[in-house]
Amino acid sequence: MVNFEYYNPARIVFGKDTESETGRLAKSCGAKRVLLHYGGGSIKRNGLYDKVVDSLRGAGLWFTELGGVKPNPRLSLVRAGIALCREQSIDFILAVGGGSTIDSAKAIAAGVVCKRDIWDYYMDGSLTPAGALPLGVVLTIPAAGSESSDSSVITNEEGNYKRYIGSEYLVPRFAILDPEVTFTMPPAQIANGCSDILAHLMERYFTRTPHVDFTDRLLEASMRTVLENGPLAIKNPCDYNVRAEIMWLGTIAHNNLLGTGRIGDWASHDIEHELSAMYDIAHGAGLAIVFPAWMKYVNKAHRDKFVQLALRVFSVSLPLDDADALVAEMIERLEGWYRRMGLPVRLHEAGVGSDRIGQMAARCVEGRGTVGNFMKLSAEDIAAIYSLAL
């Protein structure tokens, strides 16, 4: 186990009808003038917008709005949000949506306070924001974990760069999680969300840090939860209990608790980011394509962790003296789960061919040489992984 610092002061308010607490919670954070930030308008169709607005008004809070956040949230809208906040003397940002909306809100919150252009912080890992406006969240999509994480991922349309920042200032003050809000999500969106949650767990699981058995076991418990509840969530969209398990898991999977004392991998996220930046495919779908290919490429180099995952999570009971067969069976079960969730597991299933593999691989390592910690991957390795996913 390596030394670590763990600090997560996000207040989670979880359960039925908790969105009615929005105004009270924002006020308790000192909010007076609120920017209400959201996505494509589904919150207006399902009634959540009205509930949140009523709660803000009930608490006597002034607010203005900025909608239109898209998946893979865009820098241009972030810049518009920063300008709006400065014009209107906004002192609190309320994100109502999924990971894209929250990440966009985080970028705005930091951008209002920081002196440099916000994109500088995303492009230069040595820069960290010196502060951010306080931020609250009403979550609609269990997936990204951004509702209590310290990070934000933004896409710059000029050049299709997808980059992230992390800072304690970006941890939301509160996050409201009502599983009923997720009942109206399209099946593809819940599938993408579950894939993202599973990926957050696997990225942390695949570590070279020795003696991390407690967090290994917590990660295994969490993986079993998403593997078992994911297909049920698609089959029975209005099962509160199933949605509640997934929603709470989605937060815990990415609030850094499960990464304490260990160095995670994160190569698959980096490899996927190039894919979704280039082709604008959903992050969860991209991960379903990338992760099995990554496993096929790296498993022989560091075998033990794959064997442990096969035994403890996928309950493979093949003999241990043929680890090749054992790990291959585990990867097939994982691919089977992705397929059962309706996700693509090959690039061609997402309409992607081989023509830009070299370009994506080169961009993936740009400015850093390699990606990943479990096994350091060069552009050549990454191209081989994309090819395994064809």
Give the nearer residue to a second copy in terms of CB position, either 201 or 289: 201
Segment interacting with a second copy, rule: CB under 8 A, options 34-42, 80-88, 155-163, 237-245:
237-245
Closer to a second copy by Cβ: residue 65 or 220: 220
Is 224 a residue that touches a second copy (CB under 8 A)? yes
Handedness of CA 12, 14, 19, 21 (dihedral sign): negative
Task: Select from 297, 269, 275 the least CA-distant residue to 201.
Answer: 269
Q: Which member of 54, 65, 91, 220 binds a second copy (CB under 8 A)?
A: 220
**244 near a second copy, rule: CB under 8 A:** yes
Residue 313 lies near a second copy (rule: CB under 8 A): no
State in Å, rounded, how far the first CA of the chain is from the last one.
37
What secondary structure does DSSP assign to 97-108, as a single string? ESHHHHHHHHHH
Q: Render the burial of 181-201: b for 16+ CB within 10 Å, e for the rest.
A: bbeebeeebbbbbbbbbbbbb
Please identify which residue in 236, 241, 315, 359 interacts with a second copy, judged by CB under 8 A: 241
Contact range with a second copy by CB under 8 A, out of 13-21, 116-124, 133-141, 183-191: 13-21
Binding-site member from 257, 278, 362, 384 for a second copy (CB under 8 A): 257
Find the shortest distance in angstroms from Cβ 219 to a second copy: 8
Q: Is 92 helix (H, G, I), strand (E, B) or coil?
A: strand
Candidate residues 15, 67, 166, 231; the one interacting with a second copy per rule CB under 8 A: 15
Question: Of 200 and 273, which CB lies nearer to a second copy in the complex structure?
Answer: 200
Tell me the window of 44-52, 255-263, 342-350, 377-385 that interacts with a second copy (CB under 8 A). Answer: 255-263
User: Quick one: which segment of 242-250, 290-298, 363-371, 379-387 binds a second copy (CB under 8 A)?
Assistant: 242-250
CA 242, 350, 266, 93 torsion-angle sign: negative
Q: Is 229 in the site for a second copy (CB under 8 A)?
A: yes
Answer yes or no whether residue 261 interacts with a second copy by CB under 8 A: yes
CB atoms within 10 A of CB 89: 9
If one asks whether residue 144 binds a second copy (CB under 8 A), the answer comes out as no
Residue 101 interacting with a second copy (CB under 8 A): no
User: Is residue 233 a contact point for a second copy (CB under 8 A)?
Assistant: no
> Cα(270)–Cα(203) distance, rounded to whole angstroms?
11
Interface with a second copy, residue 236, by CB under 8 A: no
Nearer to a second copy, 12 or 371 (CB): 12
358 touches 380 (CB < 8 A): no
Question: Which member of 120, 127, 186, 214 binds a second copy (CB under 8 A)?
Answer: 214
State how far the Cα of 206 lies from the Cα of 278, in Å rounded to an integer: 26
Please report which helix (H) or strand (E) contains residue 307, including its range: helix 304-312
218 binding a second copy? (CB under 8 A)? yes
- Per DSSP bridges, beta strands 151-156 and 161-166 are antiparallel
For residue 222, state whether it binds a second copy (rule: CB under 8 A): yes
Name the one residue in this structure whose structure tokens are 């994506």.
Answer: 360
| 73: nearest Cα among 41, 34, 39, 44 | 39
Residues contacting a second copy: total by CB under 8 A: 40
Binding segment for a second copy (CB under 8 A), chosen from 139-147, 192-200, 213-221, 289-297, is: 213-221
Closer residue to a second copy in complex, CB, 163/243: 243
- Residue 157 interacting with a second copy (CB under 8 A): no
Structural element, H or E, at residue 165: strand 161-166
Residue with tokens 């209990």: 241
Query: 62, 164, 183, 248: which one contacts a second copy (CB under 8 A)?
Result: 248
* Residue 9 contacts a second copy per CB under 8 A: yes
- Specify the long-range contacts of residues 348-351, CB closer than 8 Å, at least 24 apart: 348/390, 349/289, 350/279, 350/281, 350/285, 350/286, 350/289, 351/279
E strand or H helix at 304: helix 304-312
Task: Give the binding site for a second copy (CB under 8 A).
Answer: 1-16, 18, 210-211, 213-215, 217-218, 220-222, 224-225, 228-229, 241, 244-245, 248-249, 252, 257, 260-261
